[in-house]
Amino acid sequence: MLLGQGPLLSVMVWLASAMVLASIPIAWWAIFSDRPSQRASQNLIDHNPTMRQTELRRSPIERLVLPLTRQVGARLVRFTPIGWVERRNLALARAGLSGRVTAEQILGAKLLLPVLVAALGLRFIGDAQPRLVMLLVTCIVLGFFAPDILTRAKADRRAEAITIALPDMLDQVTISVEAGLGFEAALARTSSGQSTPLAQEFLRMLQDVRLGATRTDALGAMSQRSQVDDLKSVVLTLRQADSLGVPLARTMRTLSNEMREKRRFRAEARAQRLPTLLIFPLGLCILPALFIMVLGPPIVSSMGQ
């Protein structure tokens, strides 16, 4: 009986040995491999960096310059005239910088820029020549007014972009309203896929409405922020139509036609100013060369005789 079980026992031993040998790589893979849970935890660590890593990813201006100007401006804001902070916040909102740059930072920059320019000028100017001193004083004055100039220039460019994009935006909103959408839904659908300043203003207006403000108050706040004449007239018409119960689709169609006509008249006015603007480059660049080509050979021949 034992002799009959010998071959079977040896086969079972060989099978057990083979299973043990095959289980060794599997156990090695299970212990030391990068399992999905480990990869998931590592991905979470990569996508959730520490505060130090988040801070180092910011630009040097955001990490050093802006906090410094904010601290300096916060100490000096008490010495500003009454209403200066409100006017500066309104100018920043008109430039689209509200929430990113504060009035305290502008005030700090107006103080730090002249000091930096004066320090650099005194460092590199060795001889106190009158021309260099006047140049240094001019740079210091420009450094003081530079934040205001840059803010105003950005506000003007933003206002021009809003004026140009307003007729097309009104056309899209009018089509959506005539198709059956509400005013807020039409604005959201039209502005969600765009990154223009006008779309940003409409999205902020819709956010104010979602936070509990009425449509009239949200439109008034948008008009106050933008300070664009065409947008002010549109907001005024919409508020009147909302208060009087005029059909919104008809009002939007009238507004879109009016804004489109204004844009056409504005383009025609610019085209009419073009000949006047061409006088200066024509007189300074083209006419002298033409005179040299026409009168040069006779003058040279007469001088040779």
Q: Please give the DSSP secondary-structure letter assigned to residue 79.
A: G
Q: What is the CA radius of gyration of the chain?
A: 36
Q: Show the tokens assigned to 183.
A: 């005013």
- The whole-number pLDDT of residue 266 equals 86
Predicted confidence at residue 52, as pLDDT, reads: 62
Instruction: Map residue 98 onto helix, strand or coil.
Output: coil
Structure tokens at 100: 């990113």
Contact between 157 and 224 under an 8 Å Cβ cutoff? The reply is no
> Mutual orientation of helices 130-178 and 183-191 as an angle, nearest 10°?
130
The token pair at 116 is: 């930096």
pLDDT, residue 195, reads: 81
- Give pLDDT tens digits along the chain (305 positions): 444 455 555 656 666 666 666 666 655 555 554 444 445 455 545 555 566 666 566 666 666 667 777 777 777 788 888 888 888 888 888 888 887 888 888 888 888 888 888 887 777 766 667 777 787 888 888 888 888 898 999 999 999 999 888 888 888 888 888 888 888 888 888 888 788 888 888 988 999 888 888 888 888 888 888 888 888 888 888 888 888 888 888 888 888 888 888 888 888 888 888 888 888 877 778 777 877 888 878 887 887 66
184-192, long-range: CB < 8 A, 24+ apart = 184/209, 184/215
pLDDT value of position 2: 40
Structure tokens at 255: 């507004």
* Helix ranges, 48-129 (H): 51-56, 60, 66-76, 84-94, 103-124
Output the pLDDT for position 153. Answer: 92
Name the residue type at position 117: V
DSSP 179: T
Residue 250 token pair = 């008809």
State how far the Cα of 126 lies from the Cα of 248, in Å rounded to an integer.
70
Residue 154 to residue 97: CA distance in whole angstroms:
9
Where residue 227 falls (left for φ over 0; alpha for ψ -120 to 50; beta otherwise) is left
> Given this model, what pLDDT does residue 1 score?
43
Decide: 143 and 114 in contact? Cβ < 8 Å: yes
- Model pTM? 0.68
* Cα–Cα dist 83/74, whole Å: 15
pLDDT value, residue 7:
59
Helix or strand holding residue 154 (H, E)? helix 130-178
